[in-house]
Every structure is written in C-alpha cells, then in structure tokens.
C-alpha cells in the first residue's frame, strides 16, 4: 500500500453524500432542530439518523445560504441523494468497452437530469442572494456573510487574481452540499453508537467533559483542543467506521506493487475501510479502543490527516479532503454536546452495529434512541 500510495496523481473522487433522510418535512432551522432534540422527553424515541442528517444538512446549507425556503431544501436533499446513488452505482460501461456510449442502464440520462435540477436550484439560490444583496447595498454592511456571499464578493472583485464565474460558484456549492453532509452526520452517529456500546469509554468522555467544560455551559468547538479523549474517540471512529470507504487515483506511470504491475491510466481505488482494520498496523483492529490514540497507546503519534498511511479517513495528498479541518472541529464538538447534555438509552438492545454496503459507511439500521436530560437546566445559550 505504501508503494502505491506514494505516487498520488489525479483524484476524480468526490465523497458521497446520500442525505438519507426519508422525511419529506421541511428542514428545520438549526436552532429549532437543536431545541426539539433538547426538549424530547424520555419515552419519546428519536430517530438519530434522521435528526443528525437534518442538522448536518442544515449546517451545510447555512454555509451557503442564510435561509433556504423549504421546497428548495427538499430539492437539495433529494438531489444530494440522487448524486450519491449515481456516484455509487455499478456502471457496466466502465468495464465492458462494447457497452460504451449506449447508456444501457440509463445512468447518463439520470446524471443529466440531476445536474439540471441541481443547476436550477443553485441558479435560484444565487438569484435570491443577488436580490438580497441589492436590497442591502444601502445598509451598513454588518450582517454576517455566508459562504455564498464570500464567493459572490470574490466574483465581483475586479482586482481578484482568479476570476470566479457563475459556474465556478455553482460547482463549489455543489461540492460542499454533496461532500460535506452525510460524511459528518454518519461519523457523529457511529461515534455515539460506539460510545453507547462501550459505557466505560462514555464515562471517560463525560469525566473529561466535566473537568474541561463543567456543567453550566455547552461544550463548543474551542474546547476540542483541550479534550484529548474526545479526539481519541473521533480518531478511533474514523479508523473503524470511516464514512468514505474509498479514495481513487489514476496511475500516471506504471507502478509495481507486490508483484503486480498497474499500467498507466488505470483507476486505482484505495480501500480506506480495510486499511483502518489491517492487523499488520492495528492490534485487535475490530475492537473499539480510543485508548490506542492516547499517550502511551500504539497509535499515539498517528493522526488522520493524511500523513500516516495506516489511517487515512480523509484521503491524502493534494486532493485530500478539503473539509478535514472543519470536520475535525465540528464533528467532535457536536457529539460532545449530545453526550454532555443527554443520557441516551437504547430502546431495543443490543444496538445493531451493522454497516450498509455503499460508498459511505452508513448504519444499516437507523440509530433510534431514548434521550433524557442529563443537565438540569440545559445550559443552552
């Protein structure tokens, strides 16, 4: 693996986002979702998968547009789901040259269809934003800018070194929509499930939370750096349950790996999932043990940012995941808040830990839990 990963050429990879929520309800705002989670009474089951994916999608959407009307949010979610299906679909044309150009499975047609729908959505978002910006032109410019504002500012800047086109803006937003939503949601979900399956780890995390944050305020992203055990739980989850299963490259020259020759222009898939479970690198690889990343543990010096080939949940090289920094802050902070504020009960033990086959290591069964407030009152801002 080291030999083949040493040469990282081009990466046509996009991490998949399936936005698997089946709910057709409008996406709630982040605040309303948080408070509905917060006030859920004991006895009321929460479909964590759906909640988390909604919250994550919503967070991503807040990055690109301050307020999306419900129908636009539904379209975005539906399109993201379709993109995920198409990215993960088996395409006969990739393997049988004779089939090329016939679109026997209808994948080209479906791809064009989802592209057109996404384009219409993005066009509508940009137009709404343009209108909003025209209306605000006279006001003092103190409003917090979202990502779309920043991209549009850059496009309008005559001095900008790189001129952004409208298509560039759309492509950028599309990337964020599809790559950043259920990768993060899936990670939070697996982290919580693993902790519930390992009460000793949950206890350690809570002790760290109590010591670093206390009980009178909610843990936030700035706390993550002071919480080594929380970081270890994240790394262990990314090792054992990496949301993106593969990274892909194309050989730009023949490569020789363990007696095999990989010819030029061959697509090479790196199995991130298997690397994290490889017994040659990891002791008892199927065990969830965050301690391996703590001081004195065998993985103490291993980080998941693409420098250590035995753990590369975000890929590696110059096409590694650009959302890595954001994910490494936002995901543990969100999980920590769930653990700090609530006790979670599994209504039908044992907790099912099976994975669904696909490009994102989603849970096969949704994570359905019973929450009870742990802190009284909840220290919500």
Under the criterion CB under 6 A, does residue 309 sit at the interface with ligand HEM? no
- Told to check if 79 binds ligand HEM by CB under 6 A, we report no
Residue 70 is a binding residue for ligand HEM (CB under 6 A): no
What span, in angstroms and rounded, lies between the C-alpha atoms of 113 and 257? 40
Q: Is 179 in the site for ligand HEM (CB under 6 A)?
A: yes
Q: Is 180 in the site for ligand HEM (CB under 6 A)?
A: yes
39 secondary structure, DSSP code: T
Stretch that binds ligand HEM, among 79-87, 175-183, 352-360, 361-369 (CB under 6 A): 175-183
321 is in an annotated binding site: yes
Does residue 76 interact with ligand HEM by CB under 6 A? no
User: Applying CB under 6 A, which of residues 18, 58, 316, 361 lies at the interface with ligand HEM?
Assistant: 316
Considering beta carbons, is residue 15 or 341 the nearer one to ligand HEM? 15
Pick the piece of the chain touching ligand HEM (CB under 6 A) from 91-99, 179-187, 204-212, 348-356.
Answer: 179-187
Residues 232-291 touching ligand HEM, rule: CB under 6 A, are 242-244, 247, 272
Phi, psi angles (nearest 5°) of residue 139: -75, 160
Give the integer Cα–Cα distance in Å for 34 and 17. 22
> CA 360, 363, 368: angle at the middle one, nearest 5?
140
Regarding 214 and contact with ligand HEM (CB under 6 A), the answer is: no
Residue 183 interacts with ligand HEM (CB under 6 A)? yes
Nearer to ligand HEM, 329 or 373 (CB): 329
Q: Which of 293, 380, 33 is nearest to 185 (CA)?
A: 33
Residue 363 backbone dihedrals phi, psi, to 5 degrees? -70, 145
14 binds ligand HEM, rule: CB under 6 A: yes
Q: Rule CB under 6 A: say whether 184 interacts with ligand HEM.
A: yes
User: Quick check: 319 binds ligand HEM (CB under 6 A)?
Assistant: yes
Quick one: which segment of 146-154, 182-190, 209-217, 346-354 binds ligand HEM (CB under 6 A)? Answer: 182-190
Question: Quick check: 191 binds ligand HEM (CB under 6 A)?
Answer: no
Is the Cα torsion angle 331, 332, 336, 342 positive or negative in sign?
positive
Q: Which is nearer to ligand HEM, 40 or 311 (CB)?
A: 311
Nearer Cβ to ligand HEM (188/339): 188
Burial of 235-247, coded b for 16+ CB within 10 Å and e otherwise, reads bbbbbbbbbbbbb
What's the sign of the alpha-carbon dihedral 372, 375, 376, 381?
Answer: negative
320 makes contact with ligand HEM (CB under 6 A): yes
Question: Out of 11, 155, 262, 346, which residue is the one contacting ligand HEM (CB under 6 A)?
Answer: 11
Answer for the pair 319, 175: CB distance below 8 angstroms, yes or no: no
Question: DSSP letter string over 313-358?
Answer: TT--GGGS-TTHHHHHHHHHHHHHHHHHHEEEE-SSSSPP-PBPSS
Cβ proximity to ligand HEM: between 242 and 371 the closer is 242
Is residue 84 within 8 Å of residue 114, measured between CB atoms? Answer: no
Residue among 27, 40, 327, 335 that touches ligand HEM (CB under 6 A): 327
- Hey, what are 283's tokens? 């002791």
Q: Is the dihedral of CA 299, 301, 305, 310 positive or negative?
A: negative
The answer to whether residue 195 forms part of the interface with ligand HEM (CB under 6 A) is no
Residues binding ligand HEM: number (CB under 6 A): 29
Tell me how far, at minimum, the Cβ of 314 lies from ligand HEM, in Å.
5
CB of 11 to ligand HEM, least distance (A): 4
DSSP string covering 196-254, please?
Answer: HH-HHHHHHHHHHHHHHT-SSS---GGGGGG-HHHHHHHHHHHHHS-SB-EEEEE-SS-
Detail the residues annotated as belonging to a binding site for heme.
321
Site residues (vs ligand HEM, CB under 6 A): 11, 13-15, 175-176, 179-180, 183-184, 187, 242-244, 247, 272, 313-317, 319-323, 326-327, 331
């Amino acid at each position: 693996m080291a030999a083949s990963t040493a040469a990282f050429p081009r990466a046509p990879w996009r991490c998949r986002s399936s936005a698997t929520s089946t709910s057709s309800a409008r996406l709630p705002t982040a605040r309303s979702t948080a408070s509905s989670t917060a006030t859920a009474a004991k006895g009321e089951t929460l479909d964590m998968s759906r909640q988390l994916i909604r919250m994550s999608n919503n967070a991503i959407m807040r990055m690109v547009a301050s307020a999306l009307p419900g129908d636009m949010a539904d379209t975005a979610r539906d399109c993201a789901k379709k993109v995920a299906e198409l990215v993960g679909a088996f395409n006969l044309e990739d393997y049988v040259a004779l089939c090329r150009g016939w679109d026997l499975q209808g994948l080209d047609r479906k791809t064009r269809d989802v592209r057109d729908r996404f384009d219409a959505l993005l066009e509508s978002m940009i137009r709404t934003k343009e209108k909003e910006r025209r209306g605000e032109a006279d006001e003092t410019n103190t409003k917090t800018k979202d990502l779309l504002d920043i991209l549009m500012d850059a496009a309008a800047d005559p001095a900008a070194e790189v001129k952004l086109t409208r298509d560039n803006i759309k492509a950028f937003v599309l990337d964020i929509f599809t790559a950043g939503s259920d990768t993060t949601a899936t990670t939070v979900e697996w982290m919580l499930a693993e902790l519930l399956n390992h009460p000793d780890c949950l206890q350690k995390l809570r002790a760290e939370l109590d010591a670093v944050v206390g009980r009178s305020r909610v843990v936030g992203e700035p706390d993550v750096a002071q919480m080594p055990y929380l970081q270890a739980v994240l790394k262990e989850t990314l090792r054992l349950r990496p949301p993106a299963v593969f990274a892909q490259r194309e050989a730009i020259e023949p490569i020789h790996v363990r007696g095999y020759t990989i010819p030029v222009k061959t697509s090479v898939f790196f199995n991130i999932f298997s690397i994290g479970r490889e017994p040659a690198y990891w002791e008892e690889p199927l065990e969830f043990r965050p301690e391996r990343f703590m001081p004195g543990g065998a993985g103490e010096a291993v980080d998941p940012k693409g420098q250590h080939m035995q753990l590369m949940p975000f890929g590696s090289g110059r096409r590694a995941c650009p959302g890595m920094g954001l994910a490494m802050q936002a995901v543990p902070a969100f999980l920590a808040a769930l653990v700090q504020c609530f006790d979670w009960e599994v209504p039908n033990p044992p907790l099912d830990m099976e994975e669904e086959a696909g490009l994102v290591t989603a849970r096969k069964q949704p994570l359905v839990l019973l929450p009870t407030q742990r802190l009284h009152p909840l220290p919500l801002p």
